[in-house]
Amino acid sequence: MNDDDKKESTVEYFYKDVTKFASSTETIEVSVYNNNKDTYETARIKANRFSIIVPGDEFYCSLDKSEYTERAIQGMKNLLRDKKNS
């Protein structure tokens, strides 16, 4: 557990602070180990991500795009819009 390079943190966002919910798909380059050649190679993969944007910060995570996640994101956008307008 001490050799793991991961970093974890917790952030609490409130609706009044959130300026935007977004989802995006982009192609990114990653380093992949090739067992046959015993080397690392660059590969291009499609990445889907979900973002919560607040002034001065952005939280994002990977996302499995589906009809369910698209409806959930649209629901969050509608709720945010309603909270901002009331």
Q: Tell me if 37 is assigned to some domain.
A: yes
What is the tens place of the pLDDT at every residue in 14-44? 888 899 999 999 999 999 999 999 999 999 9
Write out the two tokens for 5.
């390079």
Rounded to whole angstroms, the Cα distance separating 57 from 44 reads: 27
Average the pLDDT over 76-86 and give the result.
89
Q: How much is the pLDDT for 25?
A: 92
* 59 has pLDDT over 60: yes
Range of the domain at 44: 20-85
Q: How much is the pLDDT for 83?
A: 86
Number of separate domains in the chain: 1
Q: Is 81 left (phi over 0), alpha (psi -120 to 50) or beta?
A: alpha
Q: Tell me if 41 is assigned to some domain.
A: yes
Q: Tell me if 8 is assigned to some domain.
A: no
* Stated pTM of the model: 0.65
Q: How much is the pLDDT for 2?
A: 61
